[in-house]
């Protein structure tokens, strides 16, 4: 157990460092955790002359990381306001659909005709590059308080449409469609129909106690459906997002329960997910052969910009909000890395192609988020307390020019009759 405790201490130390950096540099915490994971793997791996210095492939690390991704995806779905979704479903559907189609077709063409990949690998590249990271977008929305606005809820709904297209494309192009797929689809449909009726009644009868029955109930659902999805060669985050959406009217409006789940998620689980994602970036491989990585990253950003921005503006978003939406929809992480790993495991792509894809996917989580929050943040949507942080200090609170003596003289002048 000594090794386990040591690795756990290392990872939580990195998570704490990432949080301090995010506060210091005013970055989203998810973004700083990815960057810290990349640097830590490079630095510690070089110091120890090994490639597994962080223990990212330890079974328990993968479980904690996967649980973080599942719970974070569930919370993102639970934040979707059904009323807002019904009112803005055309906007969310259009933005989400073009956010999937433009990079899917564009990056597949780049991989095929510029990089010279074979057709199967090219289509897989299109799938991996088409994603929008619900995990990153939700973490950013939560950090800036946009998750409580109609704007933020519409963006999260668009993320769902994009990733639904990604999952369907991966399944139709590469995953076997078997009787297991039908069983999983049937179970998911049954959950969608039953859970909105069962959950509020179950919580009303047995909830509200210190035993945290509600949290255990939700985790049971997520793990059971995740196991069924994995058994059917799908991904556990897909049913988590769907369950979150259908329970938005119950769980999403229980602010105390949401706060407790966020504490578990952001305080312990998601740092493992984001740091692990960052640790997969092989900096030496990218330095040795950067062309494929750069081309795929630029291709994704360019196609997202060409597709999403005009649609967002067409639905009445102001220029700054439209660009912020475009940049957030350009992020990728969960499904992109899942698709890349699927291709490597099934022989669709080789190791070099996998490294380029994963690096481009993770860079797409970093670069658009950094640009969006630095230059395109819609400050008029920020909660009042965060707006105050953005404002300069009033003149009376700033030191007067000329140092303490001038400040004292100024104070004396103000106090004079």
Spatial separation of the C-alpha atoms in residues 282 and 296, rounded to whole Å = 16
First CA to last CA distance, the chain? 74
Spatial separation of the C-alpha atoms in residues 347 and 342, rounded to whole Å = 9
Q: How far is CA 23 from CA 29, 269, 279, 380, in A?
A: 8, 19, 21, 21
Q: 192-231 in b/e burial notation, b at 16+ Cβ within 10 A?
A: eeebeeebbeebeeebeeeeeebeebbbebbeebbebbee
For residues 379 and 387, the answer to whether their CB atoms sit within 8 Å is yes
User: pTM of this prediction?
Assistant: 0.78
Residues 6+ apart with CB under 8 A from 237: 69, 70, 73, 134, 226, 334, 335, 338
Spatial separation of the C-alpha atoms in residues 336 and 129, rounded to whole Å = 6
Spatial separation of the C-alpha atoms in residues 143 and 149, rounded to whole Å = 13
Burial of 104 (0-12, 13-18, 19+ CB in 10 A): buried
For residues 370 and 324, the answer to whether their CB atoms sit within 8 Å is no
For residues 165 and 373, the answer to whether their CB atoms sit within 8 Å is no
Which helix (H) or strand (E) segment is 199 a member of? Answer: helix 179-206
Closest CA to 372 of 137, 93, 214: 137
Give the number of other CB atoms < 10 A from CB of residue 293. Answer: 21
Spatial separation of the C-alpha atoms in residues 414 and 399, rounded to whole Å = 14
- Count H helices, E strands: the chain? 20, 0
Fold of 2-382: Na+/H+ antiporter like fold (1.20.1530)
Tell me which DSSP letter residue 148 carries: G
The per-residue DSSP string of 57-91 comes to: T-HHHHHHHHHHHHHHHHHHHHT--HHHHHHTHHH
Please list the pLDDT of the chain residue by residue as tens digits (417 residues): 888 999 999 999 999 999 999 888 877 788 788 889 888 888 887 666 554 568 888 899 999 999 998 998 898 888 777 778 888 899 999 999 999 999 999 999 999 999 999 999 999 999 999 999 887 898 889 888 998 888 998 999 999 899 889 888 887 888 777 899 899 999 999 999 999 999 999 998 998 888 899 999 999 999 999 999 989 887 788 888 889 988 988 887 888 898 999 999 999 999 998 898 888 877 787 788 799 999 999 999 999 999 999 999 999 999 999 999 999 999 988 788 888 878 887 899 987 898 899 889 989 988 999 899 989 999 888 877 666 655 544 444 444 444 444 444 444 443 333
Q: What is the largest CA-CA distance in the chain?
A: 89
Tell me which DSSP letter residue 396 carries: G
Give the number of other CB atoms < 10 A from CB of residue 319. Answer: 11
Spatial separation of the C-alpha atoms in residues 105 and 321, rounded to whole Å = 26
Per-residue model confidence (pLDDT) at position 52: 53
Spatial separation of the C-alpha atoms in residues 22 and 31, rounded to whole Å = 8
Q: How far is CA 185 from CA 26, 73, 225, 386, in A?
A: 42, 19, 10, 43
């Amino acid at each position: 157990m000594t090794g386990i405790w040591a690795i756990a201490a290392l990872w939580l130390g990195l998570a704490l460092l990432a949080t301090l950096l995010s506060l210091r540099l005013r970055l989203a915490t998810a973004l700083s955790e990815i960057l810290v994971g990349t640097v830590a793997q490079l630095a510690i791996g070089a110091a120890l002359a090994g490639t597994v210095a962080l223990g990212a492939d330890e079974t328990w690390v993968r479980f904690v990381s996967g649980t973080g991704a599942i719970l974070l995806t569930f919370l993102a779905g639970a934040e979707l306001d059904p009323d807002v979704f019904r009112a803005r479903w055309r906007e969310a559907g259009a933005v989400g659909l073009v956010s999937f189609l433009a990079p899917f077709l564009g990056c597949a063409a780049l991989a095929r005709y510029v990089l010279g990949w074979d057709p199967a690998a090219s289509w897989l590249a299109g799938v991996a590059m088409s994603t929008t990271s619900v995990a990153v977008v939700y973490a950013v929305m939560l950090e800036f308080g946009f998750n409580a606005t109609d704007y933020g809820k519409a963006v999260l709904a668009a993320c769902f449409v994009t990733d639904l297209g990604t999952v369907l494309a991966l399944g139709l192009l590469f995953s076997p469609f078997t009787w297991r797929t039908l069983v999983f689809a049937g179970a998911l449909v049954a959950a969608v129909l039953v859970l909105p009726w069962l959950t509020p009644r179950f919580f009303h009868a047995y909830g509200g106690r210190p035993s945290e029955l509600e949290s255990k109930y939700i985790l049971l659902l997520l793990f059971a459906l995740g196991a069924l999805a994995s058994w059917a060669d799908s991904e556990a985050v897909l049913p988590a997002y769907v369950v979150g959406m259908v329970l938005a009217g119950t769980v999403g409006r229980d602010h105390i329960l949401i706060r407790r789940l966020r504490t578990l998620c952001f305080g312990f689980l998601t740092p493992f997910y984001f740091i692990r994602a960052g640790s997969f970036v092989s900096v030496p491989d990218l330095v040795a052969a950067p062309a494929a990585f750069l081309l795929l990253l630029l291709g994704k950003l360019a196609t997202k910009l060409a597709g999403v921005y005009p649609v967002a503006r067409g639905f009445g978003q102001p220029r700054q909000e439209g660009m912020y939406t475009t940049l957030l929809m350009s992020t990728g992480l969960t499904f992109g890395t899942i698709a890349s790993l699927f291709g490597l495991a099934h022989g669709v792509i080789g190791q070099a192609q996998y490294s380029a894809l994963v690096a481009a996917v993770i860079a797409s989580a970093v670069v658009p988020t950094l640009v969006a929050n630095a230059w395109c943040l819609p400050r008029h949507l920020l909660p009042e307390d965060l707006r105050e942080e953005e404002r300069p200090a009033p003149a009376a609170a700033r030191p007067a020019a000329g140092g303490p003596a001038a400040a004292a003289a100024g104070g004396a002048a103000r106090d004079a009759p």
